[in-house]
Amino acid sequence: MRITILDTNIISSLLDPADTMHAAATQACQKHEAAGSAFGISVITRSELMVHALKHGDDWVDRLAASLSQITDDSFDVDSTIAESAARLRAGNPTLRLPDALILATAQEQQDGILLTADQGLAKKAPDELVERVTA
């Protein structure tokens, strides 16, 4: 089964119907789901999303946790394999930010993994077979 790792911007778009990328992110996820893909996130994505929720209080944190459990099938920790993969990605592209490298490495280390992102810069820095860029 393919694992589609959802980048932080995709989750943010899915959670906000007013977001300009909401429809495109929803359609991309529906396409992957129809193809039998499972959805996952990196703990880095969870952390990035939590920053916004924590600024708004416990209710937002609870709603985020509930939403993530509905959207995703799994959450992947950064282990030594993912850390080493991220280091290799950054060594090959020094402008790749560490959080992006860790999220990308999470997809890379899944069997038949792919990262779904709206980040054009990240998509350009990543191996083509590893990323699908969502556009509005």
The dotted CATH code for 3-133 is 3.40.50.1010
18 C-beta neighbours (distance < 10 Å), count: 6
Q: Binning pLDDT at 50, 70 and 90, where does residue 127 land?
A: confident
Please answer whether residues 45 and 11 qualify as being in contact, where contact means their C-beta atoms are separated by less than 8 angstroms.
Answer: yes
pLDDT digits (tens, 9 = 90+) for 22-39: 999 999 999 999 999 999
pLDDT digits (tens, 9 = 90+) for 44-87: 999 999 999 999 999 999 999 999 999 999 999 999 999 999 99
Domain edges within the chain: 3-133
User: What is the pTM assigned to this prediction?
Assistant: 0.94
Is residue 1 pLDDT above 90, yes or no? no
pLDDT at site 41: 98
Structure token digits, residue 3: 């694992």
Q: How far apart are CA 115 and CA 55, in angstroms?
A: 27
125 C-beta neighbours (distance < 10 Å), count: 20
pLDDT digits (tens, 9 = 90+) for 76-120: 999 999 999 999 999 999 999 999 999 999 999 998 899 999 999
- Residue 132, beta-bridge partner list: 116
Q: How far apart are CA 103 and CA 43, in angstroms?
A: 8
pLDDT at site 111: 87
Characterize the bridge pairing of strands 3-6 and 74-76. Answer: unpaired
